[in-house]
Chains A and B, each alone.
Chain A
Amino acid sequence: QKEVEQDPGPLSVPEGAIVSLNCTYSNSAFQYFMWYRQYSRKGPELLMYTYSSGNKEDGRFTAQVDKSSKYISLFIRDSQPSDSATYLCASRGGANNLFFGTGTRLTVIP
């Protein structure tokens, strides 16, 4: 079993829709939770991160962590065609190595 599991999709939505991306993790020691975005033929780049449980908002993006159920979510409001990419969730404990999900490919249709 992978440390972080993610629905690979693909997910296709119309422009303006609310997108929900989800992951689960297995290691109770994980304290940091991240979302990376990867455009085609590029390396992943950090979108946002949270520490422990709770919500964090950044513009149209909201990251949510529920440590009791080991559930990680990313919500995208008013989705845009430029949001089309693969989204990877990641987690870590005290060490600096990250455990990534397999990624969810999102397409926002104009």
Chain B
Amino acid sequence: DAGVIQSPRHEVTEMGQEVTLRCKPISGHDYLFWYRQTMMRGLELLIYFNNNVPIDDSGMPEDRFSAKMPNASFSTLKIQPSEPRDSAVYFCASSPTSGPGGGNIQYFGAGTRLSVL
């Protein structure tokens, strides 16, 4: 398996523009997580899905952020409109319910480095 695949790897945009980040989880994993990582705040959970259904979106900072998971193999995180303070690395991770470690093992993608100018 290729692991969790995120695109794009880098995104540079101007304030006010719409940004869409994409994620393909590992096949068979029923949990998908979106995180944001900054030097100041570390790794923050934004939202997570179980079987394509959003379970907890309490970490989504504002209404400008939205996430969807239309099927088991694809998810998007959208920021509209983007602001300079949204600049961070955004990670997607997936996890199986069962198996060794169960929910403790989250497999992370390589991240999308977002810069909002």
**Residue ranges of A at the interface with B (Cβ–Cβ < 8 Å):** 6, 32, 34, 41-46, 49, 88, 92, 95-103
Contacts and interface: CB of A to CB of B under 8 A. Distances in A.
A97 B43 contact: no
The 10 closest A-B pairs by CB, nearest first: A43-B108, A102-B42, A96-B103, A100-B43, A49-B104, A46-B105, A44-B108, A32-B104, A96-B31, A34-B104
B4 to A, nearest CB: 8
A92 B105 CA distance: 11
Contacts of A101: 42
Contacts of B103: 32, 92, 95-96
Contacts of B107: 45
Contacts of B33: 97
17 contacts: A6-B42, A42-B110, A43-B4, A43-B108, A44-B106, A45-B107, A46-B106, A88-B43, A92-B103, A95-B103, A96-B31, A96-B50, A96-B95, A97-B45, A98-B106, A100-B42, A101-B42
B60 to A, nearest CB: 13
Contact of B101 (A45, A49, A88, A102): A49
A9 to B, nearest CB: 12
Interface residues on B, range: 20 to 34
B101 A46 contact: yes
Interface of B: 4, 31, 33, 41-45, 48, 50, 56, 91, 93, 95, 97, 101, 103-111
A99 B58 CA distance: 13
Contacts of B104: 32, 34, 46, 49, 92, 98
Nearest to A91: B104
A80 B58 CA distance: 39
B110 A43 contact: yes
A43 B109 contact: yes
B91 A43 contact: yes
A23 to B, nearest CB: 11
A101 B37 CA distance: 11
Contact of A98 (B41, B45, B109, B111): B45
Contact of B56 (A6, A42, A92, A97): A97
